[in-house]
Each structure stands twice: as structure tokens, then as C-alpha cells.
Amino acid sequence: MPSIPTLVRDAASASADDLDLARRASAGDPQAFRTIMTTHNQALYRIARAVIRNDSEAEDVVQEAYVRAFSHLGSFRGEATLSTWLSRITLNEALGRLRRKKRAAQALRAEDPGIPAQIIPFPGSTSDDDPERTMAQRQILQLVERATDNLPDVYRGAFMARVIEGRSVEETAVLLGIRPETVKTRLHRARLLLHKELEQQIGPVLLDAFPFAGRRCERLTAAVMQRLGFSG
């Protein structure tokens, strides 16, 4: 079971708003829970998606991470931002799920060596829940997402956090538990692996890659609220 991270002091500690939201949520204020989720849903989804590489499983990871975080709000002391704290919980949850899947696959192959290694198909990016994507952007975004998915694990996390999510080097280092210098090295190598011309062409729309908004955001928020015992 993934643990709740205890962070060293972040480059930016929690704001008064973070502390107030955490306090209100601890007291059972449903609006505080909703505010936290609608603020952080996309960032946490992108983190989970970078590890899991599957849209629906990434949503499951974020939901589990929220439930775990909200049941341990007392451990949030503002030593890091609420975003960083939630991100580390989400990352731990995603990595834990990935390890369990790998162990299950290895056990299955050990029982029957004739079973080939499972190939996880790249999930379709189009959905009725993604009306915000325009046809003009869709092909470009699919290329970005596919290229990112194909990065080695060690580089993909740094690239997602730093380039697509727009976190600072320091925030990415805290999130991944590595030194800032290592973040820069991994990011440099990730960029070398991505086609230079492609990166130049899609740079202006990178922030729109791996969207998580509209009905998908609302659906996840409603699911977590229901699990917390709130209706509506």
C-alpha cells in the first residue's frame, strides 16, 4: 500500500489558501474537497497518465490518491505546497499499481511460459468527453502523447512534469525525489529522444496535451465526493 509522503520543505511552502483548504476539508467541508479536486485534477491526471499510460487507469489512480490523501489530511503541515503533496501521493499510487501489474504478469507467465508478454495498446485519445479538443489540434496532440508514451520511464516522468505540466525544476525534483541537476539531465535526454522538428512544431500547444477537463473532471470529482459520503 503506497504510503503518504513526508516531504522535506519545498522550494515553495504551502500558501495560506492551501492551509485553509486543508483545514476546511479536515472539518468535512464538501466545498473544500471540490475546490481541491477541480484545482488539481488535470495536474494529477497527467502524473498518473505518465506512469500508467492508460487513460481510464490514470483516472482510477487519481481517485484512489484523493481518497488516500483526504483520509490523511492531518499529515499535511504546509511544508510543501498542497499541489506537491497531492502529486507525490498520486505518483506513489501510480507506481504501486504499476508494480502490482508487473508482478501479476510475471506470475502469470511463470505459471504458463507459453503466454506471451502483454502488449498494452495505446488508448484512443478521442472521446465524447473531450469536446474541448479541436480537429486541428487532435493529430498533433496524439503525436505528442504517443512520443511521450514511448520515452523510457526514467525520462518520461521528468518530461511530463517539467514540459507538459510546466513545473519548475525544483518542483519536479521534489516530485520525483531526485536532485535538480538530475532533472535537467533527464529532461535534456528526453528532448533528444523526441524528434526535434516535432517538438518545434507542437511547442505552442504542449500545455493542451493530455487534457482532463469538462465532463471528465466533473465525473472524477463526483466519484470521489460519493466515496467520501457526500451526495450531489
Q: Which CATH number goes with the domain that contains 173?
A: 1.10.10.10
Whether 101 and 189 map to the same domain: the answer is no
The answer to whether 83 and 40 have CB atoms below 8 angstroms apart is: yes
The answer to whether 125 and 142 have CB atoms below 8 angstroms apart is: yes
Domain containing 150 equals 135-208
* 123 occurs within a structural domain: no
Which pLDDT belongs to residue 127?
46
Which pLDDT belongs to residue 135?
52
- In the chain, the number of structural domains is 2
Whether 110 and 149 map to the same domain: the answer is no
Which value, in Å, is the radius of gyration of the alpha carbons in the chain? 18
N-terminal to C-terminal alpha carbon distance within the chain = 30
Whether 64 and 176 map to the same domain: the answer is no
Which pLDDT belongs to residue 140?
65
Task: Report CA dihedral (173, 177, 182, 186) to the nearest 10 degrees.
Answer: -90
The answer to whether 37 and 220 have CB atoms below 8 angstroms apart is: yes
Query: If DSSP codes are grouped into helix, strand and coil, which group holds residue 18?
Result: helix
Condensed to tens digits (0 to 9), the pLDDT of residues 124-148 reads: 444 444 555 455 456 666 777 777 8
Counting as low any pLDDT under 50, the low residues of the chain are: 6-11, 115-129, 133, 136, 197
CA distance 177 to 173: 6
Which pLDDT belongs to residue 230?
83
Q: Which CATH number goes with the domain that contains 91?
A: 1.10.1740.10
DSSP-assigned letter for residue 216:
H
Give the H/E segment covering residue 92.
helix 82-111
Which pLDDT belongs to residue 199?
55
Regarding pTM above 0.85, the answer is: no
* Structure-block grid coordinates of residue 9: 520543505
The closest alpha carbon to 56, from 152, 3, 120, belongs to: 120
Task: Report CA dihedral (60, 63, 68, 73) to the nearest 10 degrees.
Answer: 160
Whether 21 and 65 map to the same domain: the answer is yes
Which pLDDT belongs to residue 47?
92
Which pLDDT belongs to residue 9?
43
Which pLDDT belongs to residue 87?
94
CA distance 49 to 83: 17
* 94 occurs within a structural domain: yes
The closest alpha carbon to 46, from 213, 178, 200, belongs to: 213
Whether 97 and 28 map to the same domain: the answer is yes
The burial of 134, by beta-carbon neighbours within 10 Å (0-12 exposed, 13-18 middle, 19 or more buried), is given as: exposed
Which pLDDT belongs to residue 144?
74
